Amino acid sequence: MERVCFLLKVKSDKLEEYKKRHQAVWPEMLQALSETGWRNYSLYLREDGLLIGYFETPSFDQALAGMAKREVNARWQRDMAPLFENLGGKHPDEGFLRLEEVFHLD
């Protein structure tokens, strides 16, 4: 199982909207994440917009590729993209800054 931690940056004027959208994630999006191997998925948001994401998956590459094939993911990413800084024209799930794991207490 791969443990994945990533960073993104939410625009400071979009923090409340970002939180509100995650209080009601579309059921079909939740189902797609589950079906494509995203487990123990959590998001943490700092008051300056730093977003830290964590999930576990059998394969990071397969998890991303699986979601890329889902129409619901395309809609979600398109709707969420305006809330983020510095994506360079990418969707949020393409703009992850993945962090290197240096320690894990098992």
Q: Which residues have a catalytic role annotated?
A: 22
Report how far apart the first and last C-alpha atoms of the chain are (Å, whole number): 12
- Structure-token pair, residue 74: 């395309």
